[in-house]
Structure formats: structure tokens, C-alpha cells
């Protein structure tokens, strides 16, 4: 049975050194000039600016480290603004709209994500980059995935293992993987295998 193609970004599932969800969540600002919508499960980076309230501004991390910034973390919540209906339902921050997001910045957080291509078992432990895709404004879901066509010794994310799910066929397109951030702003972890 083939895996269902259902990208939904990065979702916390545990910690590298333990279990559970540690919730190292911080609030960040999104400037009105941000030209893409931000969804739960999206990977973000800092812009190098701050809001009038003193919060760092973030934007989606759309490329590999160096070209679009190092990973800050993953959006785990959108701060509801009653004047922006989409922040409440379906729960995303529209493009060109100022707002705030909650970001998990824990460098030891493990995430489940869909791989866009097939990843060989021999490539587990290696590194891949994420693929940016605009989120779904109808469901509020992220569409980010992991590019698994070329695992290497460097990259934004390290593949830890397959997600243990009944509906997850290994070494197949759209497989669900457990990864950890490797190129991250706050973490001592890196691309050392």
C-alpha cells in the first residue's frame, strides 16, 4: 500500500534525549511586510529586526541554511487576533499581515515530517533540507516536507528514524520520518554524524 501524500509540516513528537514534548516555546513577531502566510508546522528563521514590542521578527525559512537563514524553530501556534479571522479559524497568519507566532526553539526537539521522495534505510542518520511550500489557507495546514532524494553529511535536518505508524511504508515516497534540527540558531547540535 502506498503512503498517502499528505504534507503537514513539522510536528513535535519527543526529545532527542528523552520522551515527551518539552515545550520550549517563545513568542515571536511577524512584520506586516512578510509576503507568505505562516502556518503551524512551518519552519521559521529570524529577519534580523524586532517589533515595537521588542519581539524578534521571524519569517519562513524558505531555503537551505546560508541562503535563507538558519533554523530558529518550528511554529507550534498562532496568536489569535480577533481582527484577523484566519488566526482563529483555520489558524494561520495570512501574508502581509502583522501578528505573533509561538515557536518551539528547542534544539533537541524531534519532529515528524513527510519525506517528499523515497529514503533508503542506509541514509538514516544522514542529513536533508526541508522543502518550502505555501501552506493550505483552507485547512490552515503547513505543506512543508523533507527533501529525501539526496541525504548527505550536512543539511538542515538529521533523519533519526522512521515514524512508527501503521500507515507508514518505509523506503517509499511520502514516508513519515522523525528528524531533529541540525542547523539551528540556539542549539549546540550540528551536522556531526
Taking only the tens place, the pLDDT of each residue in 40-64 is 999 999 999 999 999 999 999 986 5
Q: CA–CA separation, 29 vs 187, rounded Å? A: 21
Q: CA–CA separation, 92 vs 124, rounded Å? A: 32
Q: pTM for this structure?
A: 0.92
* pLDDT at position 66 over 50: no
Residue 65: per-residue pLDDT: 47
Residue 192: per-residue pLDDT: 53
Q: Which residue has the higher pLDDT, 20 or 83?
A: 83
Q: CA–CA separation, 159 vs 129, rounded Å? A: 10
* Residue whose C-alpha cell is 537563514: 69
Amino acid at each position: 500500500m502506498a503512503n498517502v501524500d499528505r504534507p503537514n509540516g513539522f510536528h513535535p513528537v519527543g526529545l532527542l534525549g528523552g520522551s515527551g514534548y518539552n515545550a520550549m516555546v517563545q513568542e515571536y513577531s511577524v512584520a506586516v511586510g512578510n509576503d507568505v502566510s505562516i502556518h503551524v508546522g512551518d519552519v521559521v528563521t529570524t529577519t534580523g529586526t524586532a517589533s515595537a514590542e521588542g519581539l524578534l521578527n521571524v519569517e519562513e525559512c524558505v531555503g537551505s541554511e546560508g541562503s535563507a537563514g538558519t533554523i530558529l524553530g518550528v511554529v507550534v501556534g498562532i496568536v489569535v487576533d480577533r481582527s484577523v479571522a484566519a488566526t482563529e479559524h483555520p489558524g494561520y497568519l495570512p501574508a502581509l499581515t502583522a501578528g505573533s507566532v509561538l515557536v518551539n526553539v528547542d534544539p533537541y526537539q524531534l519532529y515528524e515530517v513527510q519525506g517528499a521522495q523515497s529514503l533508503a534505510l542506509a541514509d538514516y542518520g544522514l542529513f536533508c533540507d526541508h522543502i518550502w511550500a505555501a501552506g493550505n489557507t483552507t485547512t490552515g495546514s503547513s505543506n512543508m516536507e523533507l527533501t529525501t532524494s539526496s541525504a548527505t553529511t550536512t543539511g538542515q535536518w538529521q533523519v533519526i528514524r522512521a515514524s512508527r505508524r501503521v500507515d507508514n511504508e518505509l523506503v517509499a515516497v511520502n514516508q513519515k520520518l522523525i528528524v531533529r534540527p541540525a542547523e539551528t540558531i540556539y542549539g549546540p547540535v550540528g551536522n556531526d554524524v
